[in-house]
Amino acid sequence: MSSPVQWSREGVIAVVRIDNPPVNALGQSVRAHLLAAFNAAEQDPEVKLVLLYCAGRTFIAGADIREFGKPPQAPILPDVTRSLESFNKPSLAVLHGSVLGGGLEVALACHYRIIQDTAKVGLPEVKLGLLPGAGGTQRLPRLAGVARALEMIVGGEPISALEAMRSGIVDELYDGEPLAAGLAYAAQLLAQGAQPRRSGQARVPAAVGSSNAELLMAKRAEVQRSQPGLFSPLRCIAAIEAATALPLSEGLQRERALFLECMESPQRAALIHTFFAERQAAKVVDRDASVTVGNRMALHYIREAELLVEEGASVAQVDAALREFGMATSPFALLERSGLKLDAVVGEPSLAVKLESAPQRLWQRPIYALINEGARILEEDIAQRASDIDVIFLTGYGFPAHRGGPMFLADQIGLPAVLQQLREFHQQHGEHWKPAPLLERLVAEGKTFAEQDQQG
């Protein structure tokens, strides 16, 4: 099997080519061979500059998803980018397609960058409950400033090639074929006597109109207000803050510590589950079946919220508890869409006061109703997998992505604990809380919904 990274010489230019279809992902073999190619080029006395480009439709588009959830294999990407930046010969990254995640971090570690005018760049790790862990939080603010770094790292959305150039992330736009454009620009750099230009040695530029500290404070407040309970966005902000206060070596240490915190977060596991569940569901889920599953489960969710109000909680209390849990859509908004009215429902104030001190109790019943009905739907073969149910509620009913979906949440809580709570609700609130037979069976067999999916 040939190496996914090859290098050759074009005169005094070492041309390093990554060819790892379909998206040139940064698997262990690519990382190892990339480092080896740069080392070989640096040791060749004839080489004056290293040019990095990718075959196919895109530059490196991120990590290799086949390595998600597995122990890291050396060389890890932070070590690769640290080595690339420290090389004593100038390097040029020639970007095209989707330059995302670790791909952008590799580019930032190179000394010069040009980009095809139709390309985009981004650091979407926050969407997987992570932060850019290979220097992205330290190098991007030094090149583009804190405001742009916050936008890209905390927001997770890509920007265009033109925006990247205007922000100082890349040096020039090009059209046409990457290798030809790269060789032409490399010749210009050599003619100008270009030397290594390390992003990590730059100072974070001052903000325009306010201080960097004010930008960081405002973003932190915005995240706490709009994304309460989310773990990784606040760690992203802390990492960017480190870039403004620490030299690169210490900033990278801080970034690594924050990255490892994110890796240990249950939210990261939930978001990774969501990522794979959406990919799997897109292949097989029938749209009509999705509507059937979603509406049937939503009725149980709405009913429990309505019963809580009938028992004495206020609409505001139930809404607040579910918002704190992370639900984007109020059950009462769903009620109103379906034509039902709550005007006649009046709670008992004394009970509402008691419930106010137990927000978890308020969200538990609507959410556990989803879990129980989801188990019934699986038992009846209306949905093929628990992960399909998760996707339906994540994409159509406002279930928070950082909790992974109702069935994933049940696995995270532990099915024995879920079953015990359902039995208590059954005893307290009636027959509609009878635990689903599938849930009883999985607990008896010591299995999870995820394990059931794998067997099915």
**Catalytic residue list:** 105, 125
- d(C-alpha 116, C-alpha 74), whole Å: 31
**Distance (Å, whole) CA 422 – CA 116:** 56
Whether 139 contacts 251, CB under 8 Å: no
Residue 392 parent element (H or E)? helix 386-396
Measured in residues, the chain has a length of: 456
Distance between CA atoms of residues 103 and 88, nearest Å:
21
CA within 13 Å, CB half, 5: 26
End-to-end C-alpha distance for the chain, whole angstroms: 34
Contacts of 262 (CB under 8 A, 6+ apart): 129, 130, 131, 231, 232, 235, 268
| Residues 6 or more apart whose Cβ sits within 8 Å of residue 269 | 129, 404, 412
92 strand-pairing partners: 51, 112
Residue 251 amino acid letter: G
Q: Quick one: which H or E segment has residue 242?
A: helix 232-245
Structural contact between residues 366 and 329, judged by C-beta atoms closer than 8 angstroms: no
Please give the single-letter amino acid code of residue 202. A
Helices (H), 44-177: 77-86, 102-109, 136-144, 146-155, 161-166
The tokens for 127 are 């969407």
For residues 267 and 232, the answer to whether their CB atoms sit within 8 Å is yes
- Percent of the chain that is helix, strand, coil (3-state, to 5): 60, 10, 30
